[in-house]
Structure 1
Amino acid sequence: MCLALPVKVIEVGRGPAGEMGLVDLGGVKKEISLALLDDVQVGDYVILHAGYALSLLDPEEAERTLALFADMNEPPVAAA
């Protein structure tokens, strides 16, 4: 099973050739490759899969998706 996640770019220009970036997903920070994309900026959202940013993502869509993931992590509410 493969899973690609939206992540927020918090730093660009890392690595010897500047092809790496730092992203944040719920407080977890990870260095990833930005080599497949052009013009990624701090604050952009990208789709991350296997350590590579695959595409830019609309910020509103990214926030909705991240909210859904957060909701899945909430315990169910018992009916009274």
Structure 2
Amino acid sequence: MCLGIPGQIVELVDFHHHIAKAEVSGVRRNVNIGLLAEGPDAVGVGDWVLIHVGFAMSKIDEEEARSTREFLISLGEPFEAELDELEKSTIE
């Protein structure tokens, strides 16, 4: 199962290559923010994004992040498996 999971941008790692560090349920990993690097939806530190396969797909507000996270936690194993995959992933 592939899930889009909410994460908060905690650091801009490499502006030129559009890499930021996001925190998802205590797990911090680099994500590609290229889709949200410019324009009115450009993301920065503190913003919430929906992450799918290592890419920040859309900017969301804190309330949407909270409600999405609560829903995903209620799924149990699929969400836990997604977090396990996130912990193992690497984007340099």
Query: If the length of structure 2 is used for normalisation, what is the TM-score?
Result: 0.67
Shift in Å at residue 65 of structure 1?
1.5
Distance 1:70 1:5 in 2: 10
Letter in 2 for 1:55: S
1:8 aligns with: 8
The answer to which of 64-73 and 18-27 deviates more is 64-73
Structure of larger gyration radius: 1
2:44 aligns with: 41
Distance 1:36 1:63 in 2: 22
Distance 1:20 1:2 in 2: 21
Give ranges in structure 1 of 5+ residues lacking alignment.
74-80
Structure showing the higher strand proportion among its residues: 1
Distance 1:72 1:36 in 2: 28
Report the CA distance shift for 1:58/1:30 in structure 2 as closer, same or farther (over 3 A): same
The share of aligned pairs that are identical, in percent, is 32
Give ranges in structure 2 of 5+ residues lacking alignment.
77-92
2:82 aligns with: none
Letter in 2 for 1:11: E
Distance 1:41 1:16 in 2: 10
2:80 aligns with: none
Number of aligned positions between the proteins: 72
Distance 2:44 2:30 in 1: 15
SS of equivalent to 1:36: helix
Report the CA distance shift for 1:44/1:16 in structure 2 as closer, same or farther (over 3 A): closer
